């Protein structure tokens, strides 16, 4: 049977077994090298309060949060897109 991908669909190669993470959408446990990582900014303050504080000259930090998605959820949530049929390996 032919092998579809040399890397097996993982980004970290020749490292042995990678740690596992949980998909933020469906909860599936997947290897970290196979998961799609999305970084998003989280606001700690409500929107109306944030505007008032910003107008007053306050600097409000917005920490970043890493979210991991499995391949199927990343495609479903439009975080990644499928390649065109002409560029896929047949």
Strand, coil or helix: 54: helix
Number of domains observed in the structure of the chain: 1
Is residue 53, in this structure, part of any structural domain at all? yes
pLDDT tens-digit series, residues 18-76:
889 999 999 999 999 899 999 999 988 988 899 999 999 999 888 999 999 999 999 99
This prediction has a pTM of 0.72
CA distances from 52 to 31, 56, 57 (A): 43, 6, 9
Q: Which domain holds residue 31?
A: 20-76
Report the pLDDT value the prediction gives residue 24, as an integer from 0 to 100.
95
Residue 90 lies in a domain: no
Classify residue 85 as left (phi > 0), alpha (psi -120 to 50) or beta: alpha
- Give a yes or no: residue 7 inside a domain: no
- In this predicted model, what pLDDT tens digit does every residue of 6-15 receive, in sequence order? 777 788 766 6
Q: Is residue 34 part of a domain?
A: yes
- Domain CATH number, residue 57: 3.30.1740.20
Residue 45 CB contacts under 8 Å (≥ 6 apart), including other chains: 53, 60
In terms of pLDDT, which residue wins out, 46 or 17? 46
Residues with Cβ within 8 Å of residue 17, at least 6 apart in sequence? 31
Is residue 88 in a domain? Answer: no
Whether 65 maps to a domain, the answer reads yes
pLDDT of residue 22: 96
């Amino acid at each position: 049977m032919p092998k579809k991908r040399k890397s097996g669909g993982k980004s970290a190669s020749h490292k042995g077994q990678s740690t596992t993470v949980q998909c933020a959408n469906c909860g599936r446990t997947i290897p970290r090298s196979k998961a799609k990582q999305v970084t998003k900014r989280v606001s700690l303050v409500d929107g109306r309060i944030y505007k008032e504080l910003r107008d007053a000259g306050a600097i409000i930090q917005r920490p970043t949060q890493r979210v991991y998605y499995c391949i199927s959820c990343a495609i479903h949530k439009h975080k990644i897109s499928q390649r065109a049929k002409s560029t896929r390996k047949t």
